[in-house]
Structure 1
């Protein structure tokens, strides 16, 4: 009998699946494995630190054999940045050294982001203190699991006292933008957003 797909809290043994999903969805929602020499680089920036530092705000989609999707986040971005620098960078910095000059390769550009967690503190987002990342393998998208993950995290953030949450998405990822729009996110104007669009919503408003 096939086990039902379930949303559940993250467990340490889910780490390899979490990393695999992150890199398989890391290029505008598509597979980024061909873009990076080190397959742990993207997850060490966008998934691992959340599972390590904020495990109580990490939830996964379990298909009965493995994790096929996840959502991670923090209730306090400013505090998270401090913990990232003090408690996460020492764990991964030796593997991903800071580039000595201007980044040339995709790996060097991501390593630059890894060593610059303060980039997450954007003045225009101060009224949205929490932030999140969500990823699902393509074959599990458009089946309601993303909505369920989002509802689970928003409830957890609200319980932690975070009244609003934001995320940064690559502007070119139009399918992701449509997903967030359906869940009630709105665009937050940022003076210099780079390649990202910032979206936000309240945490106490139910996901429709």
Structure 2
């Protein structure tokens, strides 16, 4: 599904609301169009749903109460989603999510070859989310917006919405992992009070954390 801007009749100020099952396709589209270090990953993978099945679908299925979308009047153009308990989520991912999608993205036989197998390897290892050194930050999140809605305050509003929901779910601190090369995202998180967490052998990722408490 390609994003279609709202017509004049439908145009209104975007609003943040809870995720609905009818949002799934547009959430997957946003995920795909921001999955290349913030740029469009359309055409990078044989299955266009691969990135969504790793980084969006499991949250929508397992913890929909912590999923929120930015609705432009016709569809979701951004989202924030996550979990209040990463260890619990990783276990549920293996038990209840992986069997739903594993047949579409088989685990590589041996060392991953090419981008599709590299991402499929991540899908088949949900335990990778439980990172030593992050025990004090049990919640984690993913946030993405289409380019036209970035740098307009919507990202901040989405993130604060998630923080409040995570805190009500019992999480006092939250973390996220981001590609170190995505300097624009790092600036965004710095402005919102995230700080870097020292994690051994983090590879291409930087881990950031903060309290779920907000001033709002």
TM-score by length of 2: 0.94
Which residue in the other structure is 2:195 paired with?
A: 186
Which residue in the other structure is 1:135 paired with?
A: 144
Which residue in the other structure is 1:85 paired with?
A: 94
The 5 Å alignment of 1:98-177 reads 98-177=107-186
Which residue in the other structure is 2:72 paired with?
A: 63
Where does structure 1 lack aligned partners over 5 or more consecutive residues? none
Structure 1 segments of 4+ aligned residues over 4 angstroms from their partners:
none
Asked if the contact 2:160/2:214 (under 8 Å) is kept, the reply is: no
Partner deviation per Cα, 1:55-96 (whole Å, 9 max, x = no partner): 000000000011100000000000000000000001000111
Which residue in the other structure is 1:32 paired with?
A: 41
SS of aligned partner of 2:133:
helix
Partners of 2:44 and 2:133 in 1: CA distance: 31
> Offset of 1:185 from its aligned partner?
0.3
Which residue in the other structure is 1:44 paired with?
A: 53
TM-score by length of 1: 0.98
Asked if the contact 1:151/1:206 (under 8 Å) is kept, the reply is: no
Partners of 2:130 and 2:22 in 1: CA distance: 30
Indicate which of 9, 13, 23 corresponds to 1:14: 23
Asked if the contact 2:28/2:52 (under 8 Å) is kept, the reply is: yes
Where does structure 2 lack aligned partners over 5 or more consecutive residues? 1-8
